[in-house]
Chains A and B, each alone.
Chain A
Amino acid sequence: MNRRTAVLLQSLVVLALFVVPSAAQDEEALRKDLTAVIALQGLPCGQVVAVEKKAESDYAVSCKDGHLYRVYLNAAGRVVVETRK
């Protein structure tokens, strides 16, 4: 392993160390956000445990209690929560 490869490897390790926690935090923030949105609509959920992005501002959400929702922003600018089957 020459010196250049070692430096590159180090950089990648540093990048991974900082990027992975940041992505995890973003994911957690999104879950909390969607949990709050569903709760604001008065729908049962408990806590969002899984999120799948379908499109921009359009998410398929799985709740801890088993409920499934689609949360999206419609053309009128309203946040809509729909039950999924």
Chain B
Amino acid sequence: MVRYTGVLLLLLTAGCASVASVPQAAQPPVVATQAAPTQPVATPAAPTTTPPAPKPAAAPVTPATRPAAPRVAAPREPATPPVVAAPTAPAAPQTLDLNSLEAQLRATKAIGLFTKMSLKNKVDDLMQQFRDHYEGKTKRTMTDLRRSYDLLIMKVLSLLQDADQPLASAIVSSRESIWALLSDQNRFFTL
């Protein structure tokens, strides 16, 4: 009987552990809405021995290791021009086409099923507004459409930014290219 009690306690502990690990998605609320490349802050280096050369073109910087790179390149010597820090800054903004974006939105687990359907309704409504605008069926101007588009993007981003930050960043990156697609009548009708 003591053995059973031990097993039961072990299982209870395991059950608690699995529940506690669930809200890991909401862990990084620090993420800002904009995925603009963070400025490499020139933090004064620790008073250790200064690096001989600030490691030019450190490596292909992956997003996970990005914060480490600018610290290494902290310009300690005032005479040397800070040429080195510049190449690491641009993080190769990835743009998406609509199909890829749609596929990723369908696949993400950050948004529930009902919310996805509701968003799809809104996208369809916006597309219909564009269609009506181009066919002269409405008095809605391009400025109005831009406002509606921005609002929809904001809604999507607010849903994604905490739970699927990479997709949120991708949407921010491709925001203008999608608008360019929608606001061009010829390209719009090829969609």
Query: Which residues of A pack against B, CB within 8 Å?
Result: 6, 10, 13-14, 17-18, 21, 25, 29-30, 32-34, 36-37, 40-41, 57, 71, 73, 77-79
Contacts and interface: CB of A to CB of B under 8 A. Distances in A.
B12 interface: yes
B15 A30 contact: no
Given A18-B15, A21-B18, A30-B112, A73 B4 contact: no
Interface of B: 4, 7-8, 11-12, 14-15, 18-19, 22, 111-115, 117-119, 121-122, 155, 159
Chain A, interface SS category: helix
Contact of B117 (A13, A21, A73): A73
B4 A79 contact: no
B118 A79 contact: yes
Given A17-B14, A18-B15, A25-B22, A33 B114 contact: yes
A36 B14 contact: no
A40 B117 contact: no
Given A17-B11, A33-B112, A6 B117 contact: no
A29 B121 CA distance: 21
Chain A CB count within 10 A is highest, among B15, B18, B115, for B115
